[in-house]
Amino acid sequence: MKAAVFREVNKPMEVEEIEVSKPGPREVLVRTAAAGVCHSDMHFFNGTYPGRLPVVLGHESAGIVEQVGSDVNYVKPGDHVITCLSVFCGHCEDCLTGHMSLCQEPEVRRGHDEEPRLSHGGAMMNQFANLGSFAEQMLVHEHAIVKVREDMPLDRAALIGCGVTTGVGAVIHTAAVEPGATVAVIGLGGVGLSCVNGAAIAGASRIIAVDMVASKLELARKFGATDVVDASAGDPVGQVMEMTGGGVHYSFEAIGLKVTTEQAFQMLRRGGTATVIGMIPPGQMVSLHGPDFLMEKTIQGSMMGSNRFRVDMPRFVDFYLQGKLHLDDMISSRIKLEDVTDALLALESGEVARNVIMFE
């Protein structure tokens, strides 16, 4: 099959012919229909986060089941599915206490003594996030997919595989935003726009979108933002504090920077909660003003929106088909697999929400 192979940091990926194994026990072979190009892929492409090379990147995807291995009874060939990087085992402490997105059990991957799922010329090829969706096919554990209704367009469905679940989930699961609350979202990529959309669905009374790109601020209004703050036109914390008369109940950092994480905490009102979604680079420390904790302000992280994706994603599909999730507006362009490197580099400009790779 054809796949975009990542072999060296900051070097363009070439589309290569690689080999994919047959499905083993509890494994599913999926024909990739669409794959979103997410900033998380960029973090590994530019070396911000280290990874094992060579690897097939990509993790935000949807497709159609081609084959199933033994012991698989959840899906069958022909089923439409969305993938999720938070593959779960179903029986560890994290899974059994309702924190499936934190599961790290190795059994969802093949062992070192087994034939690799992907290879090239007999050499092992790694799968990013146990998925590797920048390829025509994905061989995954059955707990990496969720079955969805067939009237859902698969290019829009792919977005639910990461950005939507991460952003909306951070609002409704991690932070548990209640109706009438005030919300600020810093960073308006795919995840940030999904946060804005999730806050609107949750019934927030005021949703303040913060970014430095005018086109994204305008786009955020389509997703439910009631107010926008241009961070390039002055201190965003001061602007939010003035607009709200003392800060928001909930803030969300959707970029992954030290400065914006600190800003998210600073723009809280008394008793407020800041949720950090962005991937802050390893080694970076965040500084917070100690006395703020006496005001019962909270800062917390979120992994993939604290999802229960087998439950959440079909609901998000319904939300889209009911007109509540604005996925059509999130897609900046539809591209071919060979354009993936350019799509990753476009994320650095801050102008793009999501480019989606479409497979024939």
* Residues 195, 143 within the same domain: no
Q: Is residue 351 predicted with pLDDT exceeding 80?
A: no
* Residues 233, 337 within the same domain: no
254 pLDDT band, cuts 50/70/90, is: very high
* Residues 12, 140 within the same domain: yes
* Residues 144, 197 within the same domain: no
* Residues 30, 130 within the same domain: yes
DSSP bridge pairs for 4: 15
Tens-digit pLDDT profile for residues 293-319:
999 999 999 999 999 999 999 999 999
* Residues 149, 195 within the same domain: no
Q: Is residue 268 predicted with pLDDT exceeding 80?
A: yes
Q: Record the pTM.
A: 0.96
In the three-class reduction of DSSP (H, G, I as helix; E, B as strand; rest coil), residue 338 is classed as helix
Just list the catalytic residues.
38, 40, 43, 59, 162
248 pLDDT band, cuts 50/70/90, is: very high
Interstrand relation of 80-83 and 145-147 (parallel, antiparallel or unpaired): antiparallel
* Residues 50, 198 within the same domain: no
- From CA 89, how far away is CA 141, in angstroms rounded? 9
pLDDT value at residue 298: 98
The domain of 94 spans 2-161+306-358
- Last residue of some domain: 277, 301, 325? 301
Q: Is residue 360 predicted with pLDDT exceeding 90?
A: no
- The overall average pLDDT reported for the chain is 96
Q: How many CB atoms lie under 10 A from the CB of residue 90? A: 12
- From CA 158, how far away is CA 60, in angstroms rounded? 6
What value does the mean pLDDT take over residues 7-18?
Answer: 96
Tens-digit pLDDT profile for residues 77-117:
999 999 999 999 999 999 999 999 999 999 999 988 999 99
* Residues 150, 203 within the same domain: no
The CATH number assigned to the domain holding 21 equals 3.90.180.10
pLDDT value at residue 203: 98
Q: How does DSSP assign 214-270, residue by residue? A: HHHHHHHHHTT-SEEEEGGGS-HHHHHHHHHTS-EEEEEE-S--HHHHHHHHHTEEE
Tens-digit pLDDT profile for residues 169-223:
999 999 999 999 999 999 999 999 999 999 999 999 999 999 999 999 999 999 9
Share of the chain above pLDDT 70, in %: 100
| Residues 6 or more apart whose Cβ sits within 8 Å of residue 184 | 207, 208, 209, 210, 229, 240, 248, 250, 251, 252, 264, 267
pLDDT value at residue 353: 82
Task: Please report the beta strands in 73-200, taking only residues with DSSP state E, as ranges in sequence order.
Answer: 80-83, 118-120, 123-127, 137-141, 145-147, 182-186
The CATH number assigned to the domain holding 252 equals 3.40.50.720
* Residues 274, 297 within the same domain: yes
Judge whether 171 lies within some domain. Answer: no
Judge whether 168 lies within some domain. Answer: no
Identity of the amino acid at 287: S
Interstrand relation of 19-20 and 118-120 (parallel, antiparallel or unpaired): antiparallel
* Residues 67, 119 within the same domain: yes
Q: Is residue 350 predicted with pLDDT exceeding 80?
A: no
Answer yes or no: are the C-beta atoms of 46 and 8 closer than 8 Å. Answer: no
* Residues 272, 353 within the same domain: no
Answer yes or no: are the C-beta atoms of 154 and 34 closer than 8 Å. Answer: yes
349 pLDDT band, cuts 50/70/90, is: confident
- From CA 13, how far away is CA 2, in angstroms rounded? 12
Total domains present in the chain:
2
* Residues 61, 103 within the same domain: yes
